[in-house]
């Protein structure tokens, strides 16, 4: 093909979207190089009549000579954000149509803010309203409807490309983008590269790559049993042209040192446990054929905010979680990434390990055998669509269509279709659009080098089709697809359910419903996110097992096996060979927090070694020390937890404790009872921040005291209002945990609970079980209370009880975050509202994301103002942006902050901490390094 024809094609494919007309357009020179078998390279340059202005994000100019010079757009900024400015002109160029390669869809970039994002941390990011949100309003995790995605063809527009965010999108302005650098550290020549450095020092390339979330099709697993992840449909897969530089070239430049085995990547996002990060084996990252790249453009335009602007890592054929966005740092290391989500995400744990067990037993997450890198073989049916109605003559042909992909660069070698639920199979036709790129080589000033002529690896999805007569389809009860790759990996018939719900790739089945008049309606297995529909939930609601569907069998499908709700009688909670008989007197000797024993169903358990590992905290165990805990334990623990209890079985109790508990004397002037649950009615709910509420519960009598010493806590138990088939269930999951009330010790007739609601998110897909349970409560609902509990009590006049021992304290340090302020506030009241105490000093370090998240700030500030020499109050914010008039600290708690804003270790000193477990642990370790005794001087509420 003459190169001049390519230029004419480029003219026709070159679009200009103007928000305001009238500016003069400047021409751009484009050099096209055609390379074909048996032909030498030919060059041609031409002026495009409707070329972008010099301010266009895609403007570029070819250097004189045979090799075009690749330039970054000026200004280099996401097109959707530029189009928000009425004065901006934006040009969009695609690859020349006559190259014979697939074209990129022409969706206009979104320019409006979705109402669901307004007012939130992503309230500046334009997004396409067609995207299906999977995690509520924030963070943004979304996929396109399968029909919309498939209809776009081989390439996916940026608008509908799936998004996996763990938190807020880093807000990068034009100046930040201009000065953005990727830092190389560790076992190499330490240096940093701007985008301009990368563009000029290394060859710029463009590669078509399919990215797939490891959770693609997870909704199917969540229907069977809820996993730890949120519900992806079959649209967690997308394909784009990525432009940047090869990672292997940059690694060669920085010269890895002996001992470097891993390449660790870190993004700029701010998450509760640090930025997102993960790693690759250096041997893989240095291999050109692996195709890893540092990319700044997607489909010929700068990356959009959701996709990693201004630069990201792109790793072909591996799970999407390896392609780190908003890339800031690359470290050459002897060990793999130590980032939190490198370990606590992107794992396929063994099937027997349930979600609760995975949460408790952290060792599973650190076992390298369960790490996911390469994608597995997978396929799905896109046509027919879910709820599509087919009304056609029997002689007509209907073409079944869908996608298939695999990992590790492996090609899909066969796709098979069954119309009789897997008894027989027939081969579908497979189309490989990626192969079109193996037939041409092309250079220009936007895409750099586009050349797969020497590559045999498959980095993209393929499409399959299977024509079938409507008459034959009318006899089928289901359509089933499976694929195989060149490594002979075949999609399995049965689901491999796992705690993370990742890499789900069992046969994709579409049910066929036969309607009146020879019509047919098709039903996919699930619908993404919270969308209703799908044969899996329907079968489950009918009491059948969705993992063993029988569409055409008139006999009922297999009965439902609810893996999340095993009966207690089905779980053995005793240890084989343990025959010891334990007396009540012997049990009574183990009621303290050091070596607690308790009873469940007449069996005795020693939880001493498990105190610090218990997810509900040690107090939930010490509260029942020496008592019968059958009711509490059986009500809230899963089958995994019941099974694990056997490890701590030490014998059988002689006699029963239940009658003794019933006959215990009751003081009705005090509401709380440490041995019995008491019901309390919700009388009011008041919002105090965007995610925090004060719940007031009534006591038995208006003049009744709660009976809670300062510094102690109350156990709260409630039933979740679970939802099944759109209706509220009568018996929800029982949950419980300890809280410190907001109300004062002298208050009577009520108790106030300040609760921060942890709504479902990508980090916690189900949200906080207890706090979401609180959010479901309505006035008039009942909860149960028990207490007091706790190992710390502020007695007054500079003294406290710690583990039953009285201590004189004159320096009290306090660290808290969020609703962890409540026990801190109670102790502060005990100190500064005590007229007999004029010398005790307190230091408070209160960490929150945003200023509006600081709870009880008015009372804290008032106490500090009234006691300027005794109360030293310091706030710190971890989120962006920081208020312009902010005078306190910025950033997470660290050693330097503790040294600066808390007292020094002393004999009459103590530090109390209440916050997320990682913060509590980090604080305890930092205090220990500064000379504090962690057993006697650090209190974890």
- The residues annotated with a catalytic role in the active site are 213, 345-346
Full 3-state SS string of 208-227? EEEEECCCCCHHHHHHHCCC
d(CA 413, CA 19): 47
Cα 212 to its chain centre, rounded Å, is: 15
Bond before 139 cis per omega within 30 degrees: yes
Full 3-state SS string of 694-746? EEEEECCCCCCECCCCCCCEEEEEEECCCEECCEECCCCCEEEEEECCCCCCC
Q: What is the DSSP string of 255-318?
A: -PPTT--EEEEEES---TTSS-EEEEEHHHHT-GGG--EEEEEETTEEPPGGGTTT-EEE-TTB
Annotated binding residue 188: no
Contact 209, 459 (CB under 8 A): yes
Left if phi > 0, otherwise alpha if psi is -120 to 50, otherwise beta: which for 326?
Answer: left
d(CA 441, CA 32): 9
Contact 750, 697 (CB under 8 A): yes
d(CA 343, CA 323): 15
Say how many C-beta atoms besides its own lie within 10 A of residue 644's C-beta: 18
Token duo for residue 242: 């990525």
For 76-187, where are the alpha helices, taking DSSP H only? 79-82, 146-151, 174-178
Token duo for residue 194: 């701007």
For residue 911, give the nearest of 932, 889, 887 by alpha carbon.
932
Phi, psi of 34 (to 5 degrees): -105, 125
DSSP state of 463: E
Find all residues with CB under 8 Å of 245, minimum gap 6, and list them: 198, 199, 202, 203, 204, 205, 293, 294
Dihedral, CA of residue 598, residue 604, residue 608 and residue 614, to nearest 10? -70
DSSP state of 542: T
Question: What 3-state DSSP class applies to 774?
Answer: helix
DSSP state of 360: H
Contact 461, 436 (CB under 8 A): no
Phi, psi of 210 (to 5 degrees): -95, 125
Place of tokens 């997870």: 218
d(CA 406, CA 485): 7
Phi, psi of 49 (to 5 degrees): -60, -45
Q: What are the Cα distances from residue 698, in Å, to 35, 682, 714, 784, 849?
A: 81, 7, 14, 11, 32
Contact 127, 47 (CB under 8 A): no
Contact 910, 795 (CB under 8 A): no
Q: What are the Cα distances from residue 500, in Å, to 134, 163, 320?
A: 16, 18, 15
Handedness of CA 154, 158, 163, 165 (dihedral sign): positive
For residue 303, give the nearest of 483, 449, 109 by alpha carbon.
109
Which residue numbers belong to the known binding site? 213
Which residue numbers belong to the known binding site for Mo-molybdopterin? 213
């Amino acid at each position: 093909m003459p190169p001049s024809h390519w230029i004419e094609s480029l003219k026709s494919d070159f679009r200009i979207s103007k928000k305001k007309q009238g500016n003069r357009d400047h021409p751009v020179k484009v050099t096209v190089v055609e390379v074909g078998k048996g032909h030498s390279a030919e060059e041609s340059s031409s002026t495009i009549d409707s070329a972008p202005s010099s301010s266009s994000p895609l403007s570029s100019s070819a250097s004189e000579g045979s090799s075009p010079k690749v330039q970054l757009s000026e200004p280099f900024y996401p097109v959707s954000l530029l189009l928000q400015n009425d004065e901006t002109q934006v040009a969009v160029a695609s690859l020349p149509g006559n190259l014979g390669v697939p074209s990129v869809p022409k969706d206009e970039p979104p320019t409006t803010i979705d109402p669901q994002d307004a007012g939130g941390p992503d309230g500046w990011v334009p997004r396409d309203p067609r995207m299906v949100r999977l995690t509520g309003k924030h963070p943004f995790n979304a996929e396109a409807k399968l029909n919309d995605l498939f209809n776009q063809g081989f390439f996916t527009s940026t608008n509908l490309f799936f998004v996996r965010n763990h938190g807020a999108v880093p807000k990068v302005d034009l100046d930040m983008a201009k000065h953005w650098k990727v830092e190389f550290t560790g076992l190499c020549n330490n240096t940093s590269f701007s985008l301009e450095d990368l563009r000029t020092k290394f060859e710029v390339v463009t590669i078509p790559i399919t990215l797939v979330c490891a959770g693609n099709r997870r909704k199917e697993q969540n229907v069977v049993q809820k996993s730890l992840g949120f519900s992806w449909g079959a649209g967690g897969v997308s394909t784009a042209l990525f432009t940047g530089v090869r990672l292997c070239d940059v690694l060669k430049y920085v010269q890895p040192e002996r001992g470097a085995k891993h390449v660790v990547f870190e993004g700029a996002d701010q998450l509760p446990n640090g930025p997102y990060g993960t790693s690759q084996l250096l041997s893989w990252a240095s291999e050109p054929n692996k195709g890893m790249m540092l990319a700044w453009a997607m489909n010929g335009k700068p990356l959009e905010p959701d996709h990693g602007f201004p630069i990201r890592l792109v790793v072909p054929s591996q799970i999407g979680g390896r392609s780190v966005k908003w890339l800031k740092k690359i470290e050459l290391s002897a060990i793999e990434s130590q980032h939190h989500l490198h370990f606590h995400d992107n794992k396929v744990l063994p099937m027997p390990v349930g979600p609760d067990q995975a949460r408790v037993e952290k060792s599973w997450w650190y076992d390298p055998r369960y790490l996911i890198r390469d994608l597995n073989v997978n396929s799905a049916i896109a046509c027919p669509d879910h709820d599509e109605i087919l009304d056609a003559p029997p002689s007509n042909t209907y073409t079944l269509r869908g996608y298939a992909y695999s990992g590790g660069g492996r090609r899909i070698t066969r796709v098979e279709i069954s119309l009789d639920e897997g008894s027989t199979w027939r081969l579908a036709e497979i189309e490989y659009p990626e192969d079109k790129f193996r037939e041409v080589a092309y250079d220009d000033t936007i895409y750099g080098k586009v050349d797969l002529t020497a590559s045999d690896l498959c980095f993209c999805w393929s499409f399959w089709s299977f024509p079938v007569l409507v008459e034959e389809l009318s006899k089928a009860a289901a359509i089933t697809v499976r694929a195989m790759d060149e490594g002979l990996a075949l999609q399995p018939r049965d689901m491999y359910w796992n705690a993370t719900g990742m890499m789900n790739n069992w046969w994709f089945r579409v049910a066929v419903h036969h309607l009146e008049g020879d019509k047919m309606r098709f039903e996919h297995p699930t619908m993404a996110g919270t969308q209703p529909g799908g044969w899996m939930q329907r079968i489950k609601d009918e009491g059948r097992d969705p993992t063993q569907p029988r569409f055409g069998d008139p006999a009922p499908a297999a009965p439902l096996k609810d893996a999340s709700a095993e009966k207690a009688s089905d779980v053995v909670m005793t240890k084989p060979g343990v025959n010891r008989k334990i007396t009540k007197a012997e049990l009574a000797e183990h009621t303290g927090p050091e070596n607690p024993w308790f009873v469940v169903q007449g069996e005795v358990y020693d939880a001493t070694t498990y105190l610090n590992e218990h997810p509900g905290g040690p107090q939930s165990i010490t509260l029942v020390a020496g008592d019968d805990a059958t009711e509490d334990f059986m009500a809230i623990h899963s089958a995994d937890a019941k099974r694990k209890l056997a490890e701590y079985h030490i014998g059988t109790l002689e006699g029963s404790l239940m009658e003794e508990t019933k006959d215990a004397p009751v003081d009705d002037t005090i509401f709380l009872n440490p041995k019995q649950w008491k019901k309390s009615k919700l009388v009011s709910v008041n919002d105090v921040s965007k995610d925090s509420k004060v719940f007031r519960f009534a006591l038995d009598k208006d003049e009744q005291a709660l009976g809670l010493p300062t510094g102690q806590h109350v156990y709260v138990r409630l039933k979740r209002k679970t939802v099944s088939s759109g209706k509220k269930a009568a018996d929800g999951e029982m949950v419980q945990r300890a809280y410190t009330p907001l109300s004062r010790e002298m208050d009577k007739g009520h108790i106030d609970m300040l609760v921060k609601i942890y709504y479902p998110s990508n980090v916690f897909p189900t949200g906080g079980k207890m706090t979401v349970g609180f959010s479901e409560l309505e006035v008039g609902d009942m909860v149960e209370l028990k207490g007091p509990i706790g190992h710390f009590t502020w007695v007054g006049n500079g003294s406290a009880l710690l583990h039953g021992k009285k201590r004189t304290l004159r320096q009290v340090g306090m660290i808290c975050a969020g609703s962890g302020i409540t026990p801190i506030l109670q102790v502060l009241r005990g100190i500064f509202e005590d007229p007999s105490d004029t010398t005790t000093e307190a230091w408070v370090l209160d960490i929150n994301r945003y200023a509006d998240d600081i709870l009880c700030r008015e009372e804290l500030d008032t106490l500090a103002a009234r006691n300027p020499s005794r109360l030293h109050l310091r706030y710190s914010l971890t989120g962006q942006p920081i208020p312009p008039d902010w005078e306190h600290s910025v950033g997470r708690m660290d050693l330097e902050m503790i040294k600066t804003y808390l007292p020094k270790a002393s004999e009459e000193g103590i530090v109390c901490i209440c916050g997320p477990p990682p913060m509590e642990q980090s604080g305890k370790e930092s205090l220990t390094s500064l000379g504090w005794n962690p057993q006697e001087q650090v209190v974890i509420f």
